[in-house]
Structure 1
Amino acid sequence: MLFEVWAPHARRVTLHLSDDSSAMEPDPGRDGWWRAQADAAPGTRYGFALDDGPVLPDPRARRLPDGPEAPGAVVDLAAHAWRHPWPGRGLPGAVLYELHVGTFTHEGTFDAAATRLGHLAALGITHVELMPVCSFPGRHGWGYDGVAPWAVHEPYGGPDGLLRFVDAAHGHGLGVVLDVVHNHLGPSGNRLPEFGPYFTDRHHTPWGAAVNLDAPGSDEVRAYFVGSAVAFLRDYRLDGLRLDAVHALADDRAEHMLAELSAAVDALAEETGRPLFLIAESDRNDPRTTAPREANGHGLHGQWNDDFHHALHTALTGESRGYYADFARAPLAALARTTTRGFFHDGGYSSFRGRRHGRPLDREATLAHRLVGYAQTHDQIGNRALGDRLTALAGERRAAVAAALVLCGPFTPMLFMGEEWGATTPWQYFTDHPDPDLAEAVRVGRRREFAAHGWAAEEIPDPQDPATRDRSCLRWPDDPAADPRWDWHRRLIAIRRDHMPTDLRLADVTADHDEAASWLVLTSGPLTVAANLSPAAAATAPPPPGRFEALATTHRCPPPGEGRVSLPPESAAVLLRHAPAA
């Protein structure tokens, strides 16, 4: 087989294959590349030594069985015998479910997670969105400290485990989306700088030197990350990728790396005949993120909408610190603005940032499914001091209202694991850094960060304590489907599937509200969600003109009357507008 590595500054490169070694030759067709032919069966350990230095893992290793700093192992992904053919599932009409492999079950493996996929299919989920699974030091962690973007974390089950998980998901009719991190690596175990200019001091990020996307040598660095993304989509038959914190991708080139990536993914979709998509996490509120490449956009297919989360969260909880401050002044007005315009911050002043922020989306041109809406995510739970979930903060009744607004609202909905039955387990920040100095720095930094917000140090969970990860594992009920909250989510998803147009535009969304009376009426095409967030007072809200039928209600809301809908405290009703008779 052919072994290749990019090491542009090396004078000699040696391939170490089990107990053998051989010199590699410069590739005459590619500057900085080295190559060698050698016989190697799957499982064979290998690595590269630069200028007679230590043996390093292959930057493009697909399997790192002994951790990201040890030699890789040869693996033949094409040998997997797929049991279930898969035509693919696109983003329009999707209902996403974010899960962390290491805490979705106590076992924390792909195989254990696969045993729960039937539960998600019965709920009506269309796509499982896996948090990052690339290799990182230690056993347990969130996955955002990965250092090997081509490999799969061995404690989860490695590449074979991911293949089995995706195959099992396809057997249940579920697509799979993978969260990937291109904006930083580390902070420990990153050996890429020893191979070449993978990082640059031209830009700086919260994690130090930036990934080199625009300095000398950046052509190969961009190819490295684009290639890893395409390889995951192709070799594991994934349906999409969620791109972490794309605002941290510092890139001054005329063609942004995101546009290069989206072009490569669109080409792969055409080649395979499967719909493929990219969803960005971005705090820029920049329409270019999802604008077509031919219109000078990045061509991504969707993006997370934190503005929707923040508006909904403040309306449900009353929290007003930090980035919630801008939304808390008039939370229902903020929620109405965000659901109809896409962004709350679309050019106006942000007190949290101390400046104007964002640009408006084109309501006529923007398809609502390009924005992902949610009441909870790993970030919004896990970056709280105690990792408390929405049910603990707002109560079950308000959580049920939130589910109606998310699942029957205009945006592509996403649930966080356990949300569908009101899981009470926290989801906390946990790490397993083998480096004791780094472990202590993370521990101290976490406590210092929250001490600034009034928390006592002893209240902050120790990220390195195994008990922190254990507390974050889902405690599955014997029969989740027996819980009324699970059935509420199932019914809402079915309503969405049956009635929400996949071509809904932002211009097709309207919202009315009364801040003092605490009600909101959100209409997305034929579906209307009427919600009353008052803890004590009933509300009467006017739905849009037309004849309506109540499809689902919380707490026995009375049926809608002529030009009104009556709502008990902390309740919601989902209404279907009937077309007028011909």
Structure 2
Amino acid sequence: MRYEVWAPSASQVTLHADGRAYPMRREDGGWWRRAAPGTDGTRYGFALDDGPALPDPRARRLPDGPDGLAAVLDPTLSVWRHDWPGRPLPGAVLYELHVGTFTRTGTFEAAAEHLPHLAQLGVTHIELMPVCPFPGTHGWGYDGVAPWAVHEPYGGPGGLVRFVDAAHALGLGVVLDVVHNHLGPSGNHLPAFGPYFTDRHHTPWGAAVNLGEPEVRAYFTNSALAWLRDYRLDGLRLDAIHALTPRAPFLPELSSAVDELSQSLSRPLFLIAESDLNDPLTTTPRSSGGHGLHAQWNDDFHHALHTALTGESQGYYADFAADPAQALAKILRGGFFHDGTYSSFRNRPHGHPLNPSTTPPYRLLAYTQTHDQIGNRAQGDRLSAHLSPGLLACAAALTLCSPFTPMLFMGEEWGARTPWQYFTDHPDPALAEAVRTGRRREFAAHGWPSDAIPDPQSPETRLRSCLDWDEPKREPHARLLAWYRRLIALRRATPALTDPDWSYTALSTDDRTVHFRRGPVHLAVNLSPQPAALALGGTAAIVAAWSPVAPPDGAGVLHLPPETAAVLLAT
């Protein structure tokens, strides 16, 4: 087989494969190549200028972790039992899932046992948090160092193939969260091979990825294409694109390559960006001067809804605290709250308005909870730790009946009481202590005593974060799960709820109520502990309600009990 590696600064490169050494030949562009024996499982690495053998930067498998040798992976040995035509993004309902805490076992195989639950819930796509190799056994995955490989403790490449195939058998698409903005810090050997990073720009994680170098852009683009092609994924979620410096031309190049692959495979593929820029160019088509990504997370929706539900006003919630219901109304009408408005959290104007002609609502993701919004709280506490089942039901209705693409975080659908905390498993004691100390210092600045911050390195922190699969069988969890199923079924069966148009027949709010209408569908939500009356402006029949709700009276007024949501169809 042919081995190759990009190492433009090396004077010599030696391939170490299956215990033997083979000098490599330098070719144009800083590439080194060599033919040598190798079959599936052959261990190999590259020694630069007589240094130690390092794993291949494009390793498809790292059976011994980020610091061990790579292993040859023969993709033709993958067994796919189910054809898959793909599932497009419009009309989707996503479900964010972390393999290591979805079950206590923490493997693809164990997670696959619960795929029927997700199919019955009605979601369309699973969004896996990062599965690239990282130090240790357990972690969030955002400190991965090998963007072509699969974390071995989860089940490695074979485990991912079987998981995706099992999901497809149930009609579920799979999206993968990938990290292009940083690697490591532990186990990152890329700097030894070439200029993968640049000191001209810095990110919260250190030197920026050198996206000004064409070979570095190609490294990440080809990695993305490999995930979509070889693992039959439906899409990728791009972590923190605002930390990609410089962003252009990487994002348009990536989106163009993915669109071309989609055409060649004859199935839909999409890219979802995480971005805090509120930049409409992210999802504006390339033909109109944008980056051409297919969707982006919308934190404004989360922040407005979270503030309305909890009353919290610290940090970035301060921008929404004055009137969260009105902030939510603005977002439902136009996508962003910060569209050039002043942000007190940032001390400057922020964002730009969307162009409704190039950005239909489904290009924005709406969510009540995510891994970040839970896990980056000091205690990793979910909304279910503080809110009544009624308010959780209201939050679900606002998210699942919004014009945006909804996304749930694992366990949200039954109001899971398990926290989701920040945990690591760094083998390096110095790095482990630095993470532990930094975490405590960060939250101490917000008034949390250090002994209240879970130790990220403690195995108990990860175990506390694992879902309890007995909860959905008990009340009040079972009732909330039934509500989520009902709302998702309504969304699937009611075209008005996924209409790509921004227009509303009606949209009104006050301090604790929200009422909007899209086509024949009314959503009425009362977040107050007191009853509320909403004028619907016509007759309508109730098709779903969290609590018993009487039909609108003769004047078209709906009387909602406290902390209740209702969906109605105009008659």
Alignment TM class, shorter chain as reference: over 0.9
1:88 equivalent in structure 2: 86
TM-aligned CA deviation for residue 395 of structure 1? 2.0
**Per-residue CA distance 1:383-424 (angstroms, 9 max, x = gap):** 000001111122211001000111111111111101111110
Match of 1:133 in 2: 131
**Residue 60 of structure 1 pairs with residue 58 of structure 2:** yes
The correspondence of residues 330-349 of structure 1 with structure 2, limited to 5 A, is: 330-349=323-342
**Using the alignment, how far apart are the partners of 1:14 and 1:296 within structure 2?**
44
1:505 counterpart (486, 501, 506) = 501
Deviation at 1:140, TM superposition (A): 0.4
What corresponds to 1:574 in structure 2?
A: 567
Q: For 1:54-453, what aligned pairs fall within 5 Å after superposition?
A: 54-214=52-212, 218-251=213-246, 255-453=248-446
- Partners of 1:480 and 1:154 lie apart in 2 by 32
* Whole-Å separation in 1 of the counterparts to 2:138 and 2:7: 31
The alignment status of 1:552 with 2:547, answered yes or no, reads no
Distance 1:526 1:366 in 2: 23
Q: Distance in 2 between matches of 1:222 and 1:547?
A: 57
> 2:21 — aligned with what?
21
Q: Distance in 2 between matches of 1:105 and 1:18?
A: 36
> Following TM superposition, by how much is the alpha carbon of 1:171 offset from its aligned partner in structure 2, in angstroms?
0.6
Task: From the superposition, tell whether residues 20 and 525 of structure 1 become closer, same or farther in structure 2 (CA, over 3 Å).
Answer: farther
Q: Which moved more, 1:550-559 or 1:52-61?
A: 550-559
Relative to 1, partners in 2 of residues 1:77 and 1:401: Cα closer, same or farther, differing over 3 Å?
same
Aligned-partner SS, 2:110 = helix
CA distance in 1, matches of 2:205, 2:231: 29
Alpha-carbon separation, structure 1, partners of 2:351 and 2:299: 13
1:520 aligns with 2:518: no
SS of match in other structure, 1:270: helix
Alpha-carbon distance between aligned partners in 2 of 1:272 and 1:279, rounded to the nearest angstrom:
19
Does the 8 A contact of 1:408 with 1:527 survive in 2?
Answer: no
1:49 maps to: 47
SS in 2 for 1:170: helix
| Residue 534 of structure 1 pairs with residue 532 of structure 2 | no
Contact 1:46 1:57 in 2 (8 A): yes
CA distance in 2, matches of 1:40, 1:496: 51
Contact in 2 for aligned 1:500/1:525 (Cα 8 Å): no
Structure-1 separation of matches of 2:278 and 2:108: 34
CA deviation vs aligned residue, 1:440-475 (integer Å, no higher than 9, x gap): 111011111111111111010000001000000001
Please say if residues 500 and 527 of structure 1, whose CA atoms lie closer than 8 Å, have aligned partners that are also in contact.
no
- Structure 1: how far apart are the matches of 2:472 and 2:351? 44
The residue type equivalent to 1:223 in the other structure is: A
Q: Which runs of 5+ in 1 are unaligned?
A: none
Q: Aligned AA for 2:121? A: L
In the superposition, the TM-score normalised over structure 1's length comes to: 0.96
Cα offsets for 1:56-101 (capped at 9, x unmatched): 0000000000001110111112321211100000100101000100
Contact 1:55 1:71 in 2 (8 A): yes
**Secondary structure in structure 2 of the residue aligned to 1:507:** coil
Q: Determine if contact 2:539/2:552 at 8 Å carries over to the other structure.
A: no
Question: Partners in 2 of 1:478 and 1:198 — Cα distance?
Answer: 46
- Give the superposition deviation at 1:118: 0.4
Residue in 2 that maps onto 1:564: 557
Letter in 1 for 2:550: P
SS of residue matched to 2:491: helix
Letter in 2 for 1:205: T
Amino acid at match of 1:20: R
Q: CA deviation at 1:511?
A: 2.2
In the alignment, is the contact (CA less than 8 A) between 1:500 and 1:526 conserved in 2? no
Report the CA distance shift for 1:391/1:478 in structure 2 as closer, same or farther (over 3 A).
closer
Matched letter for residue 168 of structure 1? A
CA distance in 2, matches of 1:332, 1:478: 32
- 1:555 deviates by 1.3
Which secondary structure does the structure 1 equivalent of 2:281 belong to? helix
Secondary structure of the 1:202 match is strand
Amino acid at match of 1:235: D
1:522 maps to amino acid: F
What letter corresponds to residue 82 of structure 1 in structure 2? Answer: W
2:26 maps to amino acid:
P
SS at match of 1:177: strand
- Following the alignment from structure 2 to structure 1, what is the Cα–Cα distance between the partners of residues 369 and 218? 34
1:24: Cα distance to partner? 0.8
SS of 1:394 mapped into structure 2 = coil
1:516-563 Cα distance to aligned partner (Å, 9 max, x none): xx211123343221111111x1111122x4442211001112222342
CA distance in 2, matches of 1:314, 1:397: 16
SS at match of 2:174: strand
Counterpart of 1:413, as a letter, is: P
SS of the equivalent of 2:503 reads helix
Contact 2:149-2:157 at 8 Å conserved across structures:
yes
Aligned-residue RMSD, C-alpha: 1.3
Q: Which runs of 5 or more residues in structure 2 are unaligned?
A: none
Provide Cα deviations, 1:150-188, integer angstroms capped at 9, x if missing partner. 010000001000000000000111000000000011111
Give 1:183's aligned amino acid. N
Equivalent in the alignment of 1:464: 457
The C-alpha deviation readout for 1:331-360, integer Å capped at 9, x for no partner, is 101111111110000001000000000000
- SS of equivalent residue, structure 1 residue 209: strand
**Local SS of the residue matching 2:455:** coil
1:480/1:486 contact within 8 Å kept: no
Whether contact under 8 Å (1:364, 1:507) holds in the other structure is: no
State the percentage of identical aligned residues: 66
CA contact (8 A) 2:284 2:358 kept: no
Q: Distance in 1 between matches of 2:122 and 2:473?
A: 14
User: Do the aligned partners of 1:180 and 1:241 also contact (CA within 8 Å) in 2?
Assistant: yes
Query: Within 1, Cα distance between the matches of 2:375 and 2:11?
Result: 46
Shift of 1:478: 6.9
The total of aligned residue pairs comes to 567
Separation of aligned partners in 1, 2:471 and 2:276 = 39
1:422 counterpart letter in structure 2: G
Tell me, in whole angstroms, the C-alpha distance in 1 between the residues paired with 2:149 and 2:56. 10
Q: Do the aligned partners of 1:78 and 1:235 also contact (CA within 8 Å) in 2? A: no
Q: Which amino acid aligns with 1:467?
A: E
Look up the SS of the partner of 1:489 in the other structure.
helix
